[in-house]
Amino acid sequence: MSGKGIHIEGLKKRYGEGDTAVHALRGVDMQIAPGEVVGLIGPSGSGKSTLLKCLGAVIDPTAGRMVLGDEVIFDNDWKVRDLRALRRDKIGFVFQAPYLIPFLDVTDNVALLPMLAGIPNSNARAKALELLTALDVQHRARAMPSQLSGGEQQRVAIARGLVNRPPVILADEPTAPLDSERAMAVIRILNDMARQFETAIIVVTHDEKIIPTFKRIYHIRDGVAHEEVGEGRGFE
């Protein structure tokens, strides 16, 4: 695990060429420290998903610079050869829906990532159980995803995002399908995990209930990120 979070400078993304070109990101600057949870908000079409996909190394930015921990991963071009390994080892994902693999039990859903990285099954499962315990779902370790409640599924998804101890976690509307109580519980968990594992967490959200919980918010408008100070309520 790295201690420098994620640093983004002048990140641009353009779709298409010439007159039909769409500038989704027009030079985004962001800095998220380890252990910090920031909100990423903005209206539909503002570029939130494009930014998340650039950060997640699933689409190619047009220009800019991204530093993950100590490693420059993008400087007008990808600086890492294997983007798949980058996603596996350095970036955690938490989605709007948990998207757990339905045919794997809870432990193996979490342990799958370390297994993919070549860690022996027993060690990977031990790591998974450790995280499930931290997230208080260890009692459902042998359950199948379909047997879990929505909140439990989301906690398992968070465990999966954290299991390889990535320096950054990208959470795409993680509270969207949850009621207020469960949504706040998920945000609390993300804050706890960010502090415990020194992980920088970016939470994309439209959820008015959780926006006041962020100390810092990036508001995307027309492809540019504007930093705002949040209220930071509830998770001191």
Partner 1 sequence: MISLAGRDILHSWGKFVFTGVGLGLLIGVTLSMAGIYRGMVDDAQVMLDNTGADLWVVQQGTQGPYAESSSLYDDLYRSLLNMPDVEYAANVTYLIMQVGHGGQDVSAMVVGVTAGKPGTPGQPRYLVAGRHITRSHYEAIADISSGFQLGERIRIRRNFYTVVGLSKRTVSYNGDPMVFIPLKDAQEAQFLKDNDALVQQRRRNAENPDFNRSGIPDLLAVVNASQSTNTAVNAVLVKLKPGTLPEDVAETIRRWTRLQVYTRAQMESILMDKVIDKSARQIALFLVILSIVSAAIVAFIIYTLTLGKIREIAVLKLIGTKNRTIAGMIMQQSLALGVIGFVVGKITATFWVPIFPKYVLLMPLDSIAGFFAVLAICALASLVAIRMALKVDPADAIGG
User: Footprint of partner 1 on this chain (CB under 8 A)?
Assistant: 48-50, 52-53, 56, 58-59, 84-85, 87-89, 93, 95-96, 99, 101-104, 108, 112-113, 115-117, 121, 144, 160, 170, 172-173
Minimal distance, residue 213 CB to partner 1, in Å:
21
Task: Name the minimum Å distance from CB 56 to partner 1.
Answer: 6
Question: At 75, is the secondary structure helix, strand, or coil?
Answer: strand
Exposure class string for 9-43: b at 16+ Cβ within 10 A, else e = eebbbeeeeeeeeebbbeebbbbbebbbbbbbbbe
Strand blocks (E) in the chain: 6-15, 22-32, 37-41, 63-68, 71-75, 91-94, 168-172, 200-204, 216-221, 224-229
Question: Measured from the CB of residue 64, what is the shortest distance to partner 1 in angstroms?
Answer: 18
CB nearer to partner 1: pick between 72 and 101: 101
Give 79 or 195: the residue with its C-beta nearer to partner 1. 79
CB of 1 to partner 1, least distance (A): 17
Q: Which is nearer to partner 1, 1 or 58 (CB)?
A: 58
Contact status, residue 68 vs residue 169, Cβ threshold 8 Å: no
The total number of residues shown for the chain amounts to: 236
Specify the residue, 33 or 115, whose C-beta has the smaller distance to partner 1. 115
